[in-house]
């Protein structure tokens, strides 16, 4: 193995190397290819590489900062395809197309020897570049987050994606490493995840500007009458006003949420019930004090249906309030509410931002069976 401590390049597995920007700023720029055989460079930062590398290597740049509001999903497909092309000469989809059976293709990828070599780097080689390499290892080698991170840290011990990147990678794994933008756009759970990032990881002074930007984009509002691309093998429901039977939402725009009972285990396997999870309890403190007056266990039953922002909600949301209520358009009965800062379901789960219809105010009606 190369003397990685001196070279500042760290070989992770096969033809995959990781580093900071330092090795690319050295006078002997041809060393990457002559010494290590590297032909591809993935740059994960906004600073441009010296022209030499663009002229003599196959390069790709992901222009992001090491900041909590950066969305990695936007780049996962192109970064995965670039790394795959460097190592195997084909993208992930092309590798799958070579086999009629996906499971067999995945096993073949695991056994395949890397044909090329790639360097993945950012400024310090600690957060951004490891995050994209972890995404690749999870997708191509079916690793969980912890295993992928460990595979890199064996060579470069100081890696640590920031908290937001880590959260996105864990969610990426939950989505079975889906990186197709069209499929992600139709995934309500993914859209809710992005909204949570948008409204929970910004300075409070920017919340109003963020709301205005959200409201100005008509694509953020879904037509409650549209069934969209709903899977015809699944049942469909409507939520109707309990008083006048006005249709308010269809189940294709429900934002499903899991009660906060499960926490990831250290080995990345299925979760366990963690009594220390604060979302499991509703705690009341004394006035201007941290002294706990009462502490009640969250309910096992949800009292709210959380939904995508729907077209009939836009007038209410456009009033500029941080929170408010939704009234039925037909009879004006209160049917739900919203909070841009987020609110908790009776099960304890935080939803940010929260658009909800109350179970007690609506009827859930089956309109299409399996």
Can you give the pLDDT at residue 269?
44
Is 304 found in the same domain as 286? no
The set of residues, in sequence order, having a beta carbon less than 8 Å from that of 110 and lying 6+ positions away, is 141, 142
Is 361 found in the same domain as 280? no
Top-ranked range on mean pLDDT: pick from 1-5, 40-44, 178-182? 40-44
Position 59 confidence tier, pLDDT thresholds 50, 70, 90: very high
Phi, psi (deg, nearest 5) at residue 140: -85, -30
Cα distances (angstroms) measured from residue 74 to each of 70, 111, 180, 197, 211: 9, 29, 10, 14, 21
In total, the chain counts a number of residues equal to 370
- Percent of the chain, pLDDT > 70? 84
Residue 216 or residue 38, greater confidence: 38
Is 321 found in the same domain as 220? yes
Can you give the pLDDT at residue 3?
39
Nearest 10 degrees: Cα torsion 69, 72, 74, 77? 180
Catalytic residue at 302? no
What average pLDDT does the structure give for the chain?
84
Of 122, 177, 241, 345, which residue is the catalytic one? 122
Is 335 found in the same domain as 277? no
Domain edge (last residue) among 136, 167, 184 = 184
Is 178 found in the same domain as 37? yes
Position 36 confidence tier, pLDDT thresholds 50, 70, 90: very high
Q: Sheet of 236-241: strands edge to edge? A: 247-250, 236-241, 362-368
Quick check: helix, strand or coil at residue 120? strand
Residue 268's domain comprises 262-297
Position 72 confidence tier, pLDDT thresholds 50, 70, 90: very high
Can you give the pLDDT at residue 237?
92
**What mean pLDDT do residues 18-34 have?**
87
Among 122, 332, 355, residue whose Cα is nearest residue 249: 355
The set of residues, in sequence order, having a beta carbon less than 8 Å from that of 183 and lying 6+ positions away, is none
CB count in 10 Å sphere of residue 326: 23
Decide if pLDDT at 268 tops 50. Answer: no
Is 318 found in the same domain as 272? no
- Could you tell me if residue 197 is inside a domain? no
The pLDDT tens digits of the residues spanning 105-146 come to: 778 888 889 999 999 999 999 999 999 999 999 999 999 999
Instruction: Report the alpha-carbon angle 170-171-175, nearest 5.
Output: 120
Position 288 confidence tier, pLDDT thresholds 50, 70, 90: low
């Amino acid at each position: 193995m190369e003397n990685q401590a001196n070279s500042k390049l760290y070989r992770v597995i096969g033809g995959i190397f990781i580093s900071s920007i330092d090795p690319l700023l050295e006078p002997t720029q041809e060393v990457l290819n002559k010494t290590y055989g590297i032909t591809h460079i993935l740059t994960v930062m906004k600073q441009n590489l010296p022209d030499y590398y663009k002229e003599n290597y196959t390069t790709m740049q992901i222009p992001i900062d090491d900041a909590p509001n950066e969305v990695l999903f936007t780049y996962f497909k192109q970064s995965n395809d670039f790394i795959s092309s460097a190592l195997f000469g084909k993208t992930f989809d092309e590798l799958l197309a070579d086999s009629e059976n996906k499971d067999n293709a995945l096993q073949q990828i695991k056994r395949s020897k890397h044909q090329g070599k790639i360097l993945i780097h950012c400024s310090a080689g600690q957060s951004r570049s490891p995050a994209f390499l972890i995404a690749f290892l999870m997708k191509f080698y079916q690793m969980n987050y912890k295993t992928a991170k460990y595979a890199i840290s064996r060579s470069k011990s100081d890696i640590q994606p920031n908290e937001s990147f880590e959260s996105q990678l864990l969610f990426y794994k939950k989505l079975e490493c889906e990186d197709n933008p069209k499929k992600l756009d139709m995934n309500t759970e993914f859209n809710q995840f992005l909204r949570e990032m948008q409204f929970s990881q910004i300075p409070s002074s920017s919340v109003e500007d963020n709301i205005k930007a959200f409201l100005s984009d008509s694509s953020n509002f879904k037509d409650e009458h549209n069934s969209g691309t709903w899977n015809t093998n699944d049942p469909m429901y409507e939520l109707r006003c309990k008083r006048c039977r006005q249709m308010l939402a269809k189940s294709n725009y429900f934002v499903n949420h899991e009660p906060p009972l499960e926490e990831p285990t250290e080995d990345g396997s299925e979760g366990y019930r963690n009594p220390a999870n604060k979302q499991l309890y509703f705690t009341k403190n004394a006035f201007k004090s941290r002294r706990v007056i009462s502490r009640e266990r969250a309910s096992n039953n949800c009292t709210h249906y959380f939904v995508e922002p729907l077209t009939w909600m836009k007038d209410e949301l456009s009033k500029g309030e941080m929170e408010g209520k939704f009234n039925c358009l037909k009879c004006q009965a209160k049917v739900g509410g919203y909070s841009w800062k987020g609110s908790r379901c009776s099960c304890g789960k935080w939803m940010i931002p929260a658009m909800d219809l109350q179970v007690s105010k609506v009827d859930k009606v089956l309109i299409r069976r399996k």
